[in-house]
């Protein structure tokens, strides 16, 4: 720390800045990034829009919100002490447990003193003369910093549907992302849910348990698979703890950093009986195994994908009693796994309950929200509560909502109009000293596993620069272009790239987000890390450092 402090000559006018680093967001990435910057001895401040830490797990407190990744693969791996101290209660923790965990981390590492809550960043402008960023919060406070590090997540810019009349509804209404902290009772209430993504599926299953009536407005059905959650006993937690090193090592080896390893066989090379038996096994096991631990070609080969989709369709038909409803719940416009697979705990059975009704918006689209409910082109429904599970302006949306300007006032939103351009998903040419933890073009998957790597890489670069007295870090246009081309190439041949979803940058509620774009690195985490490691090992020759 002392060495670095010596390099950072804070008395010169150039470094008379409020902070060495400002981090935006106190979620999974931001908390860890702050911890790492502290290790370097930097003056860092985290700006967080919420009143507390936790990011995704602070905001998304809607009924039924929980992990779809195994809790014990999702926690931070950087501190043995933390691993020794924290006991997970469930294999797939619900939001309150995860929020508690992240608060525990913030307290344990004394992170809060550098976190400024209720501080949403409105703008960040780069000043080349001082090689610094001026960051302005929504309430008009101004700060200067050498480095601006975003840790704003991939799903943090929630979007309401652009249905006419949303503002006229006189009952209660809420987007799942902004769910209130106070408990909400559904007993005796007429509840509507719009949206059937991973969030809608969790919400619907929970609300159906107590609502007077629940009407689900579904535009696109999902290929959901069972979560099979269960409690973790003390003995089991001990076993997990003893295995942590192996668990994290295994996650590093898989495509999406999940614990599930892809089966090397093709779905087409085994007998129908073997295939069926394997899929039955996966369907009966917890977590994303059926998505991430399946035959190697179900997400690339149309025939293999059609077969697994047929298997899942059969399951839906078995589980939903009314065959007409079952057919509506079976996706027809995309194959299994080409969108993010929602994991469920009794979702399909909810539709067997007398208090639950499904409205298929492909047959009867919503015309408007009325003061008393929802009007489709076929009927008018009255509600006490409308829940909008309508998703996010994913990946680039949270960036678009901040007025970020680089050299010569160029706006990041404008630069990314036709899709993100980055170097390693971490740097952007024309935006010096701007670093993104889990930015666009990073790999998606088990988020903390990837976020820890991303923050470590950023930290190593910052250390490298400070040790050499370098104060301007920038990706070049050429290397950004090469990386962006490479990212595009990694999605070729993957069936998900042919489907509209937040993973392909589609959000029909946001202007300009109707054309598919490649938003993430699709070559798998091991390959991603290899590329990033090579840049670091080579002394960051791909960057312009001054
Ligand atoms: P998703 O997966 O983007 O789902 C949003 C849902 O809302 C989806 O079913 C949409 O239908 C539906 N939607 C959006 N706008 C409308 C309108 N205007 N009318 C009707 N239905 C609409 O978001 P989630 O929050 O569920 O999940 C996001 C990720 O968070 C998830 O994948 C996990 O990784 C965690 P569509 O499919 O567009 O037809």
Q: How far away, in angstroms, is 455 Cα from ligand 1 center?
A: 29
Residue identifier of the C-alpha nearest atom 14 of ligand 1? 390
**Best mutation site among 390, 394, 511 for ligand 1, i.e. most ligand atoms within 8 A of its Cβ?**
390
Interatomic CA distance for residues 407 and 447, integer angstroms: 31
How far away, in angstroms, is 300 Cα from ligand 1 center? 23
CA 122 to ligand 1 center in whole angstroms: 26
Mutate-to-test residue for ligand 1 from 74, 192, 199, 360, highest number of ligand atoms within 8 A of CB: 199
DSSP per residue, 462-529: HHHHHHTT---EEE-HHHHHHHHHHHHHHTTT-GGGGS-SGGGT--TTSTT--S----SB-S-HHHHH
- Flag whether pLDDT at 524 surpasses 50: yes
Integer angstrom CA distances of residue 308 from 201, 266, 497: 20, 12, 18
Q: Rounded to whole angstroms, what are the CA distances from 59 to 155, 174, 336, 409?
A: 11, 12, 29, 32
- Mean pLDDT computed over 230-253: 98
| Burial tier of 456 (Cβ tally within 10 Å: 0-12, 13-18, 19+) | middle
Atom 29 of ligand 1, residue of closest alpha carbon? 198
Predicted local confidence at residue 11, as pLDDT: 40
- Given a cut of 60, whether residue 1 has pLDDT beyond it is no
Q: Which CATH class is domain 3-53+111-157+394-545?
A: alpha beta
Residue nearest to atom 25 of ligand 1 (CA): 391
d(CA 342, CA 227): 9
What is the residue whose two structure tokens read 């898989």? 254
Tell me the CA–centroid distance for residue 104 and ligand 1, in Å: 31
Q: Choose one of 339, 391, 394, 519 to mutate for the ligand 1 pocket test, by most ligand atoms within 8 angstroms of C-beta.
A: 391
Give the pLDDT of residue 15. 55
| Residue 446 three-state SS | coil
Which residue's CA is the nearest one to ligand 1's atom 20?
Answer: 219
Give the model's pLDDT for residue 435. 98
Structure tokens at 121: 């960043």
Distance 197 CA to ligand 1 centre (A): 4
The atom number, within ligand 1, closest to the CA of 197 reads 26
199 C-alpha to ligand 1 centroid (Å): 8
Condensed to tens digits (0 to 9), the pLDDT of residues 121-177 reads: 999 999 999 999 999 999 999 999 999 999 999 999 999 999 999 999 999 999 999
Share of the chain above pLDDT 90, in %: 97
Output the pLDDT for position 537.
98
Mapped onto helix, strand or coil, the DSSP state of residue 200 is helix
Q: How far is the CA of 196 from the centre of ligand 1 (A)?
A: 6
Token duo for residue 383: 């509600």
Ligand 1 atom with minimal separation from the 361 CA: 20
Chain position carrying tokens 């950072």:
8
Using an 8 Å Cβ cutoff, are 418 and 516 in contact? no
Judged by DSSP in three states, 535 sits in helix
d(CA 172, CA 372): 10
Q: Are the CB atoms for 390 and 175 separated by under 8 Å?
A: yes
DSSP 8-class letter at 205: H
Residue 393 alpha carbon to ligand 1 centre in Å: 10
Considering only CA atoms, give the Rg of the chain: 24
For residue 5, is pLDDT > 50?
Answer: no
Task: Give residue 2's pLDDT band: very low, low, confident or very high (50, 70, 90).
Answer: very low
- Determine the pLDDT at residue 54: 98
Backbone φ and ψ of 166, nearest 5°? -50, -40
What digits encode the pLDDT tens for the residues 261-300?
A: 999 999 999 999 999 999 999 999 999 999 999 999 999 9
Distance CA 372, CA 204 (A): 21
pLDDT of 206 higher than 70: yes
The CA-atom distances, in angstroms, between 429 and each of 143, 477, 542 are 23, 5, 11
Which atom in ligand 1 lies closest to the alpha carbon of residue 200? 26
**Residue 246 Cα to ligand 1 middle (Å):** 35
Ligand 1 mean position, distance from CA 242 (Å) = 38
**What is the pTM for the complete model shown?**
0.96
Q: Phi then psi for 215, rounded to 5 degrees?
A: -115, 120
Residue 204 contacts residue 212 (beta carbons within 8 Å): no
What pLDDT digit, counting tens, does each position of 172-205 carry? Answer: 999 999 999 999 999 999 999 999 999 999 999 9
**Which residue has the CA at smallest separation from atom 36 of ligand 1?**
220
Q: Which numbered atom of ligand 1 lies nearest the CA of 502?
A: 3
Return the pLDDT at 12.
Answer: 47
Nearest CA to ligand 1 atom 3: 391
Binding-site residues, ligand 1, Cβ < 6 A: 155, 161, 163, 194-200, 219-220, 340, 361, 389-392, 502, 508-509
For the stretch 320-348, pLDDT in tens is 999 999 999 999 999 999 999 999 999 99
Which tens digits make up the pLDDT trace of 102-118? 999 999 999 999 999 99
Angle between helices 447-467 and 28-39 (to 10 degrees): 30
Distance in Å, CA 512 to ligand 1 centroid: 17
Cα 55-56-62 angle, rounded to 5 deg = 125
Cβ-based neighbour number of residue 283 at 10 Å: 15
- 8 Å CB contact between 484 and 441: yes
> pLDDT averaged over the chain?
96
Nearest atom within ligand 1 for CA of residue 506: 38
Q: What is the mean pLDDT of residues 16-27?
A: 98
> Which atom number of ligand 1 is nearest to the Cα of residue 503?
32
The two structure tokens encoding residue 463:
């250390």
Query: What is the pLDDT, as a whole number, of residue 225?
Result: 98
List pLDDT tens digits, range 396-426.
999 999 999 999 999 999 999 999 999 999 9
Q: How confident is the model at residue 3, as a pLDDT? A: 42
How confident is the model at residue 7, as a pLDDT?
40
Ranges of each domain in the chain:
3-53+111-157+394-545, 193-388
**Using CA atoms, how far apart are residues 21 and 27, in angstroms rounded to an integer?**
16
Q: Could you give the CA distance from residue 511 to residue 508 in angstroms, rounded to a whole number?
A: 7
Nearest residue (CA) to ligand 1, atom 23: 391
C-beta separation of 217 from 361 below 8 A: yes
pLDDT score for 68: 96
Residue-wise pLDDT tens digits, 465-491:
999 999 999 999 999 999 999 999 999
**Candidate from 219, 358, 513 with most ligand 1 atoms within 8 A of CB, to mutate:** 219
Residue 313's alpha-carbon distances to 221, 295, 320, 391, in angstroms, are 11, 18, 11, 24
pLDDT at residue 259, rounded to an integer: 98
**Could you give the angle at which helices 525-537 and 447-467 cross, rounded to 10 degrees?**
10
Residue 517: the pLDDT is 93
- Please compute the mean of the pLDDT values over residues 507-534 and round it to a whole number: 96
Name the token pair of 536: 């670091």
pLDDT digits (tens, 9 = 90+) for 347-390: 999 999 999 999 999 999 999 999 999 999 999 999 999 999 99
Of 64, 193, 195, 256, best ligand 1 pocket probe by most atoms within 8 Å of the beta carbon: 195
Q: Give 439's DSSP letter.
A: -
Query: Quick one: pLDDT at residue 10?
Result: 41
């Amino acid at each position: 720390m002392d060495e670095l402090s010596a390099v950072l000559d804070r008395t010169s006018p150039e470094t008379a800045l409020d902070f060495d680093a400002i981090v935006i967001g106190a979620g999974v990435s931001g908390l860890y990034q702050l911890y790492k910057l502290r290790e370097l001895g930097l003056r860092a401040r985290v700006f967080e829009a919420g009143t507390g830490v936790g990011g995704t797990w602070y905001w998304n407190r809607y009924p039924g919100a929980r992990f779809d990744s195994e809790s014990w693969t999702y926690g931070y791996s950087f501190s043995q002490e933390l691993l020794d101290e924290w006991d997970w209660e469930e294999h797939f923790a619900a939001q309150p447990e995860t929020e508690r965990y992240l608060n525990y981390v913030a307290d344990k590492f004394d992170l809060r003193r550098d976190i400024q809550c209720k501080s949403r960043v409105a703008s960040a402008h780069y000043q080349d003369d001082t090689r610094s960023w001026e960051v302005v919060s929504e309430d008009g406070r101004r700060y200067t910093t050498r480095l601006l590090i975003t840790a704003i997540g991939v799903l943090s810019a929630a979007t309401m549907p652009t249905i006419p009349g949303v503002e006229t509804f006189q009952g209660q209404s809420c987007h799942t992302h902004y769910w209130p902290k106070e408990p909400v009772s559904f007993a005796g209430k007429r509840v509507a849910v719009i949206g059937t993504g991973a969030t809608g599926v969790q919400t619907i299953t929970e609300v159906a348990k107590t609502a007077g009536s629940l009407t689900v407005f579904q535009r696109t059905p999902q290929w959901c698979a069972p979560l099979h959650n269960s409690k973790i006993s003390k003995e089991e937690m001990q076993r997990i703890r003893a295995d942590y090193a192996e668990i994290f090592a295994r996650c590093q080896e898989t495509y999406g950093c999940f614990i599930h390893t892809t089966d090397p066989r093709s779905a087409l090379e085994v007998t129908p009986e073997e295939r069926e038996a394997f899929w039955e096994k996966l369907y009966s096991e917890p977590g994303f195994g059926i998505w991430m631990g399946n035959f190697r070609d179900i997400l690339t080969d149309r025939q293999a994908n059609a077969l697994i989709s047929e298997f899942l369709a059969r399951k839906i038909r078995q589980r939903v009693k009314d065959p007409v409803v079952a057919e509506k719940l079976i996706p027809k416009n995309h194959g299994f796994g080409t969108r993010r697979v929602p994991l469920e705990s009794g979702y399909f059975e909810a539709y067997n309950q007398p208090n639950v009704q499904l409205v298929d918006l492909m047959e009867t689209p919503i015309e408007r929200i009325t003061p008393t409910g929802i009007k489709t082109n076929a009927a008018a429904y009255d509600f006490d509560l409308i829940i909008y599970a309508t998703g996010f302006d994913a990946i680039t949306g949270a960036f678009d909502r901040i007025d970020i300007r680089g050299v010569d006032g160029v706006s990041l939103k404008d630069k990314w109009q036709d899709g993100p351009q980055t170097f390693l998903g971490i740097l952007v040419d024309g935006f010096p000293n701007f670093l993104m933890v889990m930015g666009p073009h990073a790999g998606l998957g088990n988020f903390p596993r990837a976020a820890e790597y991303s923050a470590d890489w950023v930290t190593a670069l910052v250390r490298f620069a400070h040790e050499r007295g370098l104060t301007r870090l920038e990706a070049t246009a050429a290397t950004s272009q090469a990386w962006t081309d490479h990212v595009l190439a990694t999605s070729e041949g993957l069936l998900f790239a042919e489907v509209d979803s937040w993973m392909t940058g589609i959000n029909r509620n946001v202007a300009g987000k109707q054309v598919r774009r490649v938003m993430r690195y699709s070559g798998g985490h091991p390959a991603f890390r290899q590329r990033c490691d090579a840049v670091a090992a080579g002394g960051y020759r791909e960057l312009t450092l001054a």
